[in-house]
Amino acid sequence: MTREKIIELVNSIFIEQFELEREELTPDKKIFEDLGLDSLDIVDLITGLQRKFKIPLRENEEIRQIETLADIYSLFEKLATENPDIAAKIIN
Amino acid sequence: MKRITPTLFIYLSMAFWTIIYCSIAMVVYLIALVSPKRLSGHIMRYVILYYGQTMIHIAIRPFISVKYEDQAAGDKRPGIYIFNHRSASDPFLMSIFGIEAIQVVNGWPMRLPFFGHFARSCEYIDSTKIDYEAVKEHIASLVSRGVSIMAFPEGTRSDGRVMNKFHSGIFKLAMDTKTLIYPCAIVGNEYLPDRKFRFPKCGKIVIRRLKAIETAEIEKCPTAYALKNRIRNIIQAETEKMDKDDNHENLL
């Protein structure tokens, strides 16, 4: 359930902020090569993720390693597992 | 029998008219060198503009015609001009607009022995320099002085009629400086010259300026990424229409 909710929330950022179509957002999609984001767009993505999940990410080293959409989903799944407060925010 | 191409004639003509132009413009250039920085930049931009017009309307005219179509009803407001980028000739074509403008370049042109000096004097923007706030301030200053910015957000020439993805930088700057955008399409120059800087045949280049995207509309875009894709789609649709209209030959 939580992973599905995470996928829905992450994808909503790409749909609302980046005006991508839902059909384009498959887990294997590479953020830079396939979706065409560049380094400036990543700043907007992180800002969007922070707002959506209400958690700070600027100091998070793992966010800088992401390459695919699946990496983003897995990162938030990990954050939710390690921190019940974050899990509660995601569920709500 | 080897086909004769216009390559040599075009380069000879450009070299000849460059010498003529430099001889005439030398006095103006020297005045610019001793003028205060802002005035110097202003003078140099017109020196470059008229050089470009000499190349387009005289030097290459016997071989390549350049046609300008304005769908922005003569809108004279300064703005950010966004182009597709098929050819090395694109930067020279900017003079067709007849306006005071600078270009956003991809680093290496600033280091060229002859052109680099003029690029720096004209206050061109080096996209490889990453001081965002300084560039933002620079663009705002230029636009307030009536100077437009010409940008090729693909970053490098595409292969033929393909249009590569756009980089977001100039669009973020347009949003942050509240500068309007003119989407522009260039067709017919994909092999003028080719990637080896040869001109396989004579031809016709068409440059079309589309109606401005106003700041109110730009502000509605949630991110620079969304804005760049909207502009890219507009230019893509226009180049496809123009390629069909003019039946440009595929030279290779």
Report the candidate in B155, B48, B137 with the shortest Cα–Cα distance to residue B98: B48
Task: Show residues of chain B in contact with A16, CB under 8 Å.
Answer: 222
Number of separate domains in chain A: 1
Task: Give the neighbor-by-neighbor strand order of the sheet with B181-187.
Answer: B64-70, B203-209, B181-187, B80-83, B148-151, B101-105, B125-126
Contacts of residue B123, defined as CB under 8 A and 6 or more positions apart, other chains included, come to B41, B45, B102, B138, B142
- ipTM of the complex in this document: 0.88
Q: Helix or strand or coil: residue B111? A: helix
pLDDT, tens only, A42-77:
999 999 999 998 888 888 888 889 999 999 999 999
Question: What CATH number should be reported for the domain holding residue A72?
Answer: 1.10.1200.10
Closest residue of chain A to B225, computed from CA coordinates: A18
Q: Is A31 on the interface with B (CB under 8 A)?
A: no
- Decide if A65 is inside a domain: yes
What B76-79 contacts at long range (C-beta under 8 Å, 24+ apart), as own/partner pairs, is B77/B180, B77/B212, B78/B142, B78/B143, B78/B146, B78/B147, B78/B148, B78/B179, B79/B143, B79/B148, B79/B149, B79/B179, B79/B180, B79/B181, B79/B182, B79/B212
- Decide if A43 is inside a domain: yes
The count of CB pairs under 8 A between chains A and B is 35
The mean pLDDT of B97-112, rounded to a whole number, is 90
- Decide if A91 is inside a domain: no
Contact A41 B225 (CB under 8 A): yes
Q: Answer whether 0.80 is exceeded by the pTM.
A: yes
Q: Is A17 on the interface with B (CB under 8 A)?
A: yes
- Decide if A74 is inside a domain: yes
Q: Which of A14, A15, A17, A19 to mutate to test the interface with B (most CBs of B within 10 A)?
A: A19
pLDDT, tens only, B183-196:
999 999 998 998 88
Task: Show residues of chain A in contact with B222, CB under 8 Å.
Answer: 16-19
Please give the share of chain A, as a percent, with pLDDT higher than 90.
63
Q: Which domain holds residue A34?
A: 2-85
Report the candidate in B144, B98, B153, B83 with the shortest Cα–Cα distance to residue B125: B153
B112 has a pLDDT exceeding 60? yes
Contact A17 B223 (CB under 8 A): yes
